[in-house]
Structure 1
Amino acid sequence: MEFLGDVFDGRETPEAHADDTDGLLIHAEVRIGDSCLMIADSKPDWVFTPALLQVNVTGCDEVLRRAKAHGAQVITETTPFYGAASLARFIDPWSNVWWLFGPAIEGAPEPSWDPDAETGESTVHATICRAMRELRPPR
């Protein structure tokens, strides 16, 4: 939860915090903007399942900077995205994948996509496909 506070200015809802009998966190809630994330520790016998999270931010570059400073690995640097937006992605230290959506990059053309084109993958597509193929449980 400290990561969420440092990277996204997230705030825990103290009355929602619950530890299980084994001492692991079974439920907590963190507010990021107008969104609420439910968080729990992974039990030793649970199958690894990363969260795939989408967050709207006011500046992708700043959030990426903070995330890297707290151990995240960048998947996609800030890039123009469809719908007059920008997109960046990272994997946090627990192997969760974050999509950051921010305002359009001034002066950058909006990407286009033609499924019939013979061109290679876009950066946006290639970086997430590579990251998901290589994703492993945290150590």
Structure 2
Amino acid sequence: MIQFSLKCDRDHRFDSWFQSADAFDTLHGKGLVTCAVCGSSTVDKAMMAPRVSKGQAKPLSTPATAAEQALADLRRRIEAESDYVGSDFAREARRIHEGEAEARSIHGEARADEARALIEDGVSVVPLPFLMTRKAH
């Protein structure tokens, strides 16, 4: 795992972890690296200082900053208070909006063009600043 400091075209700065430098390059090349603040896909690596560990390292699952803790709390709340619909997100969001399905909070995955179409059609959606853990149906 490798952590990069990133910056979007709107000057938002954030850190993100990747499986490897090559994994970052692959995701970045496909436009899949987005700003954790505004969702912009125009993201580049920012200058970063090297980290030198002093003693025992924290486990990766422990949030290191208040911002990371807030994101972890947000993720837990979303997972607890909404239904995971996976790749059916765009279809299910539209069904709820049109009154064809029960009104409820949902989360899942959508392609950029699907999300854009939902927004253009007045469906209320928000990009999440993290990838959801995929669940088996």
TM (norm. structure 2) is 0.24
TM (norm. structure 1) is 0.24
